[in-house]
Amino acid sequence: MRRLARWAIATLIGMTTMTSLSVSAETATLRVSIEGGAFNSKFKFFDASEGCPGYNDIPGAKHYLGSVFASDKGADKEVSLGEPVQVFLFRPKETFSISAAGGEKEIRRRALQVVLSGDATLRYTGFDNKVPTWEVTGEIDVLPAIACETDEALGVEEDAPSDESEDASSDGAEA
């Protein structure tokens, strides 16, 4: 029995090690911070790989990837490599103004969309019209979160010409 238990534990440790190595190969660390800190505020992360995410931040929600507390020191978040992720600085005192200004569209206006190709840092340094300004270091591409709206519009535009070209080719085949 003891021999079987040791074998099972060794197998479990080996499988966990292999899994963690494959996961670490597909993710990178994003260190987020805010100059001067921000009492009771969090950085919230949303998956934008399928276009603009919904901003439902209940654990288990479709696009919600979690949050970390905002501080001057910073906090780390593991993020998938090559996948767009939106980062939003949630300040509870601004909840009413976000709702009054349009909810999701206002969150998108205030958020960033990042794509990591390696470890990176993102540091909020101030605000301009309630939109954060930031410093970026490392292997990261940063866009305003409204870029997901453009991506969705481009997807529609790309479909239209391909339909027209199919119609043109079928017209030519019939003639």
Please provide residue 104's backbone torsions phi and psi, each rounded to the nearest 5 degrees: -60, -40
pLDDT of 5: 63
Domain contains 1: no
Res. 57 pLDDT band, cuts 50 70 90 = confident
Contact 55, 107 (CB under 8 A): yes
Residue with tokens 């205030």: 110
Pick the more confident residue, 3 or 81. 81
Domain contains 169: no
pLDDT of 148: 87
CA-CA distance, 169 to 175, in Å (whole number)? 10
pLDDT 10s digits, 114-155: 999 999 999 988 878 777 788 999 999 998 888 888 755 444
pLDDT of 39: 78
CA-CA distance, 67 to 58, in Å (whole number)? 11
Domain contains 162: no
Domain contains 160: no
Please provide residue 77's backbone torsions phi and psi, each rounded to the nearest 5 degrees: -135, 130
Pick the more confident residue, 10 or 145. 145
Domain contains 36: yes
Q: Which amino acid is at 66?
A: G
Q: How many domains does the chain have?
A: 1
Note the pTM of the prediction, 2 decimals.
0.69
**Which residues span the domain enclosing 33?**
26-145
Contact 41, 70 (CB under 8 A): yes
Which segment of 27-41, 56-70, 88-102, 121-135 scores lowest on mean pLDDT?
88-102
CATH number at residue 37: 2.60.40
Domain contains 58: yes
Res. 16 pLDDT band, cuts 50 70 90 = low
